[in-house]
Structure 1
């Protein structure tokens, strides 16, 4: 029995020691598997040496020794070193590989996969950008960079949302109207409310019969230069029935600095019924940096009214920003729906045996009615009543495809090209210019 116990004790002792050794090995492995770091020596002549900086037994620091990624060692005099830094080894390996690979789709994709396995997302996107420079229609690379295909054209999410009238604000997409509200704090809102009271009062004065009040009200408008007044001015003067008041709005906005006047000026350009007002507003708008107004006109290109689409094209032509070319190409032709009143051609009229005319209540003349009953008119008869019956009308929806001349003129001016209304040719040309310039957006 004692021998049996001794053997059991020996077994458990051996087993316990094995477990201890096992966990020690796991711990060492975990330490070794921590993200490997590498050193980089930046030389004063602009060169770089990557690897692992070796410790020297000498107390002298005049020379630093680094073991390169290829395994060799290089000694560098300290006076030639700009600085030394430490980075993950995977980044050093990536930079070495990226300089050595062939400039082919396959090579860049292979390196991109290596980056994915090594958790180098930014570097992977860099390789995918290289892929689409070589193959602009490569679906995998486009998807990795955040592109989707819309109407045959690759677009980023920002471009898709911008085309739909949305702007990115603090990580989410909002409409331009919502953006304006989000950017206002309580102090701004309170200042705008105060201006509403003033503008209402001065508008009453200049619209009244008191000459002195008219002059005072006009002078007050001419002295406004506070951006907080823009909201009140646009709301109360922008849709005023008198053209002179809307003209006063333009001149007042012209003297207010900043971007706030761009919205009401853009609204006048797009919606005012008077051409003179629209042109004056556009002239004032384009005298300043109108970049922030582009979003308003891009929204106009998608308007249900073709009139607004044309005016949006004129606005973008005046601003002249090349980034709107894809939006203009999409708006070269637009389809609009109209509701019109037309004669109800589905109604049919016939002569009834009771002498009435197609249910309209018109009674046939006695001699005609007798002839019909006697069978003298086997092929029927046309009766023109003394008073024509009222034509039945109905409302129908009619779709019409418009070729937007103002949009084409904007494209011609901005690009100095002319492919007419051929959207396909415009897109092919635009894609070729992007490939030539090598501008490929890389999402971070």
Structure 2
């Protein structure tokens, strides 16, 4: 890259970088920094430059950006070397400087978290509290600040408890799926749906009977359904049916019903059906219609306690392809999941570390089991039977793994046409650049 320095002193690129850092620290010491913003240029070679950008300039045949540094000098950067441009408060730059230089101790992260609170940086404060929990999983203050409570000896959030009990968040409160249906419908709609449930139940009984003519009649009746008020009955009676043929029939029937009512059951099939062919067919049915109202179901699934569901939600959002989901996908790039594992109760020789990995002293998980947990193949946990000790006492432990979600990354890459890997910070910087309201036009090449 060709840097043009306009300054009373001739500086090398290394000196410029050092000067930028020093000047940043000096400016950030100003109490008014929370009201001041700075521009950030992300370079394609990985570097970052901070300061204030002057109006768009064209030098010769090349487009350039001129950054006035915090020291009063300026740098010219060819546009071809710029990944993107964004604008952020200086106080956030100060946080990033502090976070990179502090000791990795509970005391240091707690002190920085308190600084974040004083400067109204809630998200950054939560990041520091997460670091404290990484170092000390039982740190009561950090747990409480992130909404955890201790239940049966384990830390858990209220959201996790309620979701685990089958409740859904609706307008700020938790309701059951049945209650949600009632809240979203009036009595007239419910009456129409009840009438359809009776019919569908009868036709399903015909298809499962021994009378061939009635089997065919029941199948024809279900295949001919086109009334949106039949969707609730179809989903309730066929969505969890043990027969793959019946669930496949559900997908084809929902496909021919117009409107938004089929969106929820189709999304649920995409996320939870054990058969891949049915999940694929349901996703195809969604993408053949306006599925923007189904986005909410997939976004909710990005927070599911099962990593398998999270990955499927990513694939669903990729297929829908709406750019509004980018921030949610960024948040789900790396997710933590807890697994319940039954292991031999040999406490004197068995250990597992605070980061969720197992120690190498005494009994350890078999490599294929641990690999399966990492891959999210055991959402309900596993039981490790002891070899040659059939009567040994067993115990249950909770193991936490952080998953880099490939399906989420693929969705981000397809929707955004960008690739910052699993670096959540760079993704957020880029997204901020696309939402910039300062008049700076982001360069995305």
User: Normalised by the shorter chain, which TM-score bucket?
Assistant: 0.5 to 0.7
Aligned to 1:273: 274
CA contact (8 A) 2:270 2:283 kept: yes
Aligned to 1:382: none
**CA offsets per residue over residues 210-233 of structure 1, 9 Å max, x none?**
110011101101111111100000
2-structure distance, mates of 1:260, 1:308: 22
The answer to whether structure 1 residue 137 and structure 2 residue 138 are counterparts is no
Aligned to 1:151: 123
Q: State the Cα distance separating 1:347 from its structure 2 match.
A: 5.2
Residue aligned with 1:280, SS: helix
**CA offsets per residue over residues 350-397 of structure 1, 9 Å max, x none?**
xxxxxxxxxxxxxxxxxxxxxxxxxxxxxxxxxxxxx96733221111
Residue aligned with 1:151, SS: helix
Residue aligned with 1:244, SS: helix
Distance 1:389 1:282, change over 3 A: closer
For residues 383-402 of structure 1, the aligned pairs below 5 Å read: 390-402=391-403
Distance 1:152 1:181, change over 3 A: farther
For residues 161-310 of structure 1, the aligned pairs below 5 Å read: 180-310=181-311
Distance 1:271 1:153, change over 3 A: farther
CA contact (8 A) 1:335 1:401 kept: yes
Residue aligned with 2:341, SS: strand
Distance 1:261 1:150, change over 3 A: farther
**The structure with more radius of gyration:** 1
CA contact (8 A) 1:176 1:295 kept: no
List alignment gaps of at least 5 residues for structure 2: 1-34, 37-85, 92-119, 127-158, 350-387, 441-445
Q: State the Cα distance separating 1:181 from its structure 2 match.
A: 3.1
For residues 37-52 of structure 1, the aligned pairs below 5 Å read: none
Q: Relative CO higher for 1 or 2, CA cutoff 8 Å, sep ≥ 6?
A: 2
- Aligned residues between the structures: 252
Distance 1:245 1:305, change over 3 A: same
CA contact (8 A) 2:196 2:233 kept: yes
Aligned to 1:334: 335
Aligned to 1:413: 414
Q: State the Cα distance separating 1:197 from its structure 2 match.
A: 0.6
Residue aligned with 2:89, SS: coil
Q: State the Cα distance separating 1:209 from its structure 2 match.
A: 1.3
Distance 1:322 1:174, change over 3 A: farther
TM-score (ref. length: structure 2):
0.52
1-structure distance, mates of 2:288, 2:439: 32
Q: State the Cα distance separating 1:208 from its structure 2 match.
A: 1.2
Q: State the Cα distance separating 1:404 from its structure 2 match.
A: 0.5
Q: State the Cα distance separating 1:153 from its structure 2 match.
A: 11
Aligned to 2:12: none
Aligned to 2:49: none
List alignment gaps of at least 5 residues for structure 1: 1-104, 107-133, 140-147, 155-160, 349-386, 440-444
Q: State the Cα distance separating 1:173 from its structure 2 match.
A: 7.4
Residue aligned with 2:402, SS: strand
2-structure distance, mates of 1:138, 1:174: 39
- Structure 1 residue runs of 4 or more that deviate by more than 2 Å after TM superposition: 134-139, 148-154, 164-168, 172-183, 387-392, 436-439
Aligned to 1:384: none
**CA offsets per residue over residues 140-186 of structure 1, 9 Å max, x none?**
xxxxxxxx8653499xxxxxx9xx97566xxx778795665333111
Q: State the Cα distance separating 1:345 from its structure 2 match.
A: 2.0
Distance 1:150 1:307, change over 3 A: farther
Q: State the Cα distance separating 1:437 from its structure 2 match.
A: 8.3
2-structure distance, mates of 1:217, 1:152: 58
Distance 1:437 1:318, change over 3 A: farther
2-structure distance, mates of 1:299, 1:389: 43
Q: State the Cα distance separating 1:342 from its structure 2 match.
A: 1.1
